[in-house]
Structure 1
Amino acid sequence: MKLWVLAFSAAIAGATSAAADSLKSGYALCAAIDNSGLASKPCEVSAWSSAVIATVDMDSGEARDVCPRIAGLMKERGASFEAGWTLQIKSPFSNGESIAYCKL
């Protein structure tokens, strides 16, 4: 019984740490996007959707090009995201729909 509790505690600690790292990295990415001056509205981090959501005035071709570049830069700088996290780029003219997304 005690062994199970120890194993479960270790698993929870690892999961909590990974989730916290994802959120920390998500907020760092949002800060970079907001500070770039390119965002049309403040960037959002959604733990529920495992997503960083940026609204930028660009067309879908530009967004599809820049999205993986941003993800790559974050990875180069040591950002850590759990599997399933994405960067979603929206346009102020896309009625709230993503015009590009990529894995973080």
Structure 2
Amino acid sequence: MKIIFLAAAASLVAAPALADAVQNAYLLCQVIDNTGLSSSPCEVSGWSGTVTATIDMDSANARETCTGMVGMLKQKSVRFEGRQWTLQITSPYSGGNSIAYCDLPQ
């Protein structure tokens, strides 16, 4: 399952250097939602600087997925400039609590 998720992330198109962080967050959500692995639509909060994905996986796989997603974003030169943004992965069984999180590239 993690391989499918990361393969979909690899299709992420490199954003222009000055692209808005919020636009990049929505692009990331689109990639996550297009994997078909999300239990509910990905959410973006510009206020708190978070991208939240709900995916049915355990915390070990979620940590690997989070790290892999950040690596793909860096490889594609997608940046979240201006402030620190975070990718949070929750499980449908975690009561809305993060099972993994990682800082998105600046």
**Alpha-carbon distance between aligned partners in 1 of 2:18 and 2:50, rounded to the nearest angstrom:** 12
Q: Show structure 1 runs of 5+ residues with no match.
A: 1-17
Instruction: Report the CA distance between 1:75 and its aligned residue.
Output: 1.8
1:19 CA displacement:
9.4
| CA 1:75–1:68: 2 relative to 1, 3 Å | same
Structure 1 runs of 4+ aligned residues shifted over 2 Å read none
Q: Is the 8 A contact 1:68 1:103 kept in 2?
A: no
Q: Kindly tell me the number of residue pairs found equivalent between the two proteins.
A: 87
Partner residue in 2 for 1:56: 55
Q: How many Å separate the matches in 1 of 2:18 and 2:101?
A: 20
1:20 to 1:78, Cα distance in 2 relative to 1, 3 A: closer
CA distance in 2 between partners of 1:72 and 1:28 (Å): 16
Greater relative CO, 1 or 2 (CA 8 Å, sep 6+): 2
Identity among equivalent pairs (%) = 55
Match of 1:102 in 2: 102
1:33-52 Cα distance to aligned partner (Å, 9 max, x none): 00000100000111011011
Q: Which amino acid aligns with 2:89?
A: I
Distance 1:56 1:62, change over 3 A: same
Give TM-score, length-normalised by structure 2. 0.77
What's 2:3 paired with?
A: none
Q: Alpha carbon RMSD of aligned pairs, Å?
A: 1.7
1:91 aligns with 2:99: no
What SS does the corresponding residue of 2:89 show, helix, strand or coil? strand
1:25 corresponds to which residue? 24
Shift of 1:20: 6.0
